[in-house]
């Protein structure tokens, strides 16, 4: 099998796997109500964790994933007190 075909198969497999991860991340954000919270400003990860009752470290991972998937954009460093997130296109 040529390398280009292998590469194409590997790319397709990665897309299938990450498609599921993206879907779960968006579902988790929806279940926490993050779109409503970030749509009204740029709350920090700590503020979002307090408002949702989520663990700060886990929520920070979710926010970073959403930024990498293009769902949110980073205002400053995402995480802790200094991090904020804003919607890229949700709730406009």
Domains, the chain, ordered by start: 3-87 (1.10.10.10)
Give the pLDDT confidence score for residue 80 in this predicted structure: 44
Selection from 92, 90, 89 nearest residue 35 by Cα: 90
Q: What is the pLDDT of residues 80-89, one digit of tens each?
A: 444 555 555 4
The Cα–Cα gap between 42 and 46 comes to 11
Tokens 């890229």 appear where? Answer: 88
Q: What is the pLDDT of residues 7-59, one digit of tens each?
A: 888 888 888 888 889 999 999 999 999 988 988 788 889 999 999 999 999 99
């Amino acid at each position: 099998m040529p390398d280009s075909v292998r590469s194409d198969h590997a790319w397709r497999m990665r897309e299938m796997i990450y498609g599921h991860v993206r879907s779960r991340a968006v579902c988790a954000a929806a279940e926490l109500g993050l779109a409503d919270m970030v749509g009204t400003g740029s709350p920090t990860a700590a503020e979002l964790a307090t408002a949702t009752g989520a663990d700060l470290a886990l929520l920070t991972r979710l926010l970073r994933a959403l930024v990498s998937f293009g769902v949110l954009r980073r205002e400053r460093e995402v995480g802790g007190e200094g991090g904020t997130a804003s919607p890229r296109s949700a709730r406009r």
